[in-house]
Amino acid sequence: MSDQVTVVGLGYIGLPTAAALASRGVNVLGVDVDQRIVDLINKGEAPFVEPDLAVAVSGAVAMGRLRASTTHESSSAFVLAVPTPMRDGKPDLSYVDAAADAIAPHLQSGALVVLESTSPPGTTRALSARLALHRPDLRFPHDHPDDADVAVAHCPERVLPGRIMIEIVSNDRVIGGVSDRCAERARELYEVFTQGEVHLTDATTAETTKLVENAYRDVNIAFANELSLVSDHLEIDVHEVIGLANRHPRVNILNPGPGVGGHCIAVDPWFLVAAAPEQTPLIRAARQVNDRKPHYVVEEVVSRAERFKEPVIAVLGLAFKANVDDLRESPALAIAEELGRRGVGRLLVVEPHVDSLASPALQAADAKLVDVTTAIAEADIVVLLVDHESFRRVRRTSLRGKVVFDTRGLWR
Ligand code: SAJ
């Protein structure tokens, strides 16, 4: 069997993982269904913005350690990093199933299959069973824990967008094997590039641990967001309240914002709710608190706009969080679009990480993408939605005479 590692799915997790392995001298085949992504990578280019990724990809491709393809080959290990979204209130595992079906014909005795995608409890065992259906000639660990031909494990990604290339190496990893032997086998692969500690457990515990990490953050952000509503109601400054409360040695409250976005924190807690609906009222409530926050922000802007005849509204930031170009599941984008749909006023949008407004709702509202200085100069109302570093540098004097709605507390 070749010593090649295949990484399936060349997105925000798969490509950095492929580059990290390749940079340690592993021969990596990256497989993706998107020909455009495959072509870019083979030219040594990264298809999305992430600090240090482009240089890692171009180096790995130039060294001949990383190549991309839309088709599979036999490999000693397969790492699945495909999306696991929520669809119609349920985890959608169709991409995991499709990846399993695609790699099954290429499995040989001794191969390792690792699921990195954030997944509901039980997914890795089900993956083993699905592979077994395709390959009755091989023994799989859900049926043969001690003498399987193929090892199957879960190693959830835990990297923070914006810091992926650092965290992919430095974070501790949790590896859950369908059997103990599977976990040991996966450890060998991850120790090639991981400097953090590698912790072994069973697959269901690893799956649940990952969901718990993101639910923990979601619940804590929801607490901060709820405090922002309480403080508005009491007409006090939530950031001052939190800052003072955090002076207590055992209190560490997160930052309120316009809502929770991205494809992880806003999604993963639902996997826990789906797995244990009766046991998760708190996690569900936190999701609802965070999901309601963008609507609250819209209503607040609408009420501030009422005193202007033809209000000009500057919306600062569309990304789902600071210093990234990722607009997926972004509360800031949702707020800007809703303001556009409601026709609240003339919209001036600032997002330093994009060069055009692709959103049909913003186009229909005739929103203009402008720089921050122009937006503030022309605006009656300035709504800060994302705490991008460049917004921190805005001169406070330029805000004089404007109605300022700073949802992140950046300009306090
Ligand atoms: N947010 C706040 N207030 C805060 C912190 C965050 O409103 O105090 C908002 C952000 O603006 C953003 C959302 O929450 O809209 C999520 O941002 P984030 O930075 O908390 O997390 P993600 O989604 O970029 O990455 C998370 C990370 N998980 C944890 O920190 C527990 C990362 O380590 C995971 O690998 C990633 O999810 C993932 O892929 O699951």
Structure confidence at residue 247 (pLDDT) = 98
Q: Is the pLDDT of residue 97 over 80?
A: yes
Go through the chain and tell me how many residues it has: 412
Q: Is the pLDDT of residue 38 over 90?
A: yes
Q: Which of 91, 98, 97, 99 is nearest to 120 (CA)?
A: 91
Residue 265 CA to ligand 1 centre (angstroms): 6
Per the listing, tokens 């001298």 go with 25
Residue nearest to atom 29 of ligand 1 (CA): 214
Query: How would DSSP label each residue in 258-294?
Result: S---SSSTTTHHHHHHHHSGGG-HHHHHHHHHHHHHH
Domains and CATH numbers, the chain: 5-196 (3.40.50.720), 213-406 (3.40.50.720)
Residue nearest to atom 13 of ligand 1 (CA): 260
Instruction: Convert 197-216 to b/e letters by CB count within 10 Å (16 or more is b).
Output: ebebbbbbbbbbbbbebbbe
Q: Which residues line ligand 1 (CB under 6 A)?
A: 118, 157-161, 213-214, 217, 221, 254-255, 257, 260-262, 264-265, 320-321
Structure confidence at residue 195 (pLDDT) = 97
pLDDT in tens, 108-165: 999 999 999 999 999 999 999 999 999 999 999 999 999 999 999 999 999 999 899 9
For all residues of the chain together, what is the average pLDDT? 97
Confidence of residue 1 (pLDDT cuts 50, 70, 90): low
Structure confidence at residue 41 (pLDDT) = 98
355 vs 238: CA distance, rounded Å: 34
Structure confidence at residue 9 (pLDDT) = 98
Residue 146 CA to ligand 1 centre (angstroms): 38
Mean pLDDT of 103-107: 98
Q: Which tops the pLDDT comparison, 315 or 48?
A: 315
Structure confidence at residue 324 (pLDDT) = 86
Confidence of residue 405 (pLDDT cuts 50, 70, 90): very high
Establish whether 182 is a catalytic residue: no
How many Cβ atoms are within 10 Å of 27's Cβ, its own excluded? 17
Confidence of residue 83 (pLDDT cuts 50, 70, 90): very high
Mean pLDDT of 385-393: 96
Confidence of residue 48 (pLDDT cuts 50, 70, 90): confident
Mean pLDDT of 171-178: 98
* Paired tokens of 352: 């330093």
Q: What is the pTM of this model?
A: 0.95
Per the listing, tokens 């917004």 go with 391
Confidence of residue 325 (pLDDT cuts 50, 70, 90): confident
* Paired tokens of 31: 């497989």
Residue nearest to atom 25 of ligand 1 (CA): 160
* Paired tokens of 85: 């979204």
Query: How would DSSP label each residue in 91-151?
Result: E--HHHHHHHHHHGGG--TT-EEEE-S---TTHHHHHHHHHHHH-TTS--TTT-TTT-SSE
Residue 169 CA to ligand 1 centre (angstroms): 19
Which candidate in 182, 264, 293, 321 is catalytic?
A: 264
Residue 340 CA to ligand 1 centre (angstroms): 27
How large is the angle between the packed helices 203-234 and 123-134, nearest 10 degrees? Answer: 140
Ligand 1: which atom is nearest the Cα of residue 167? 33
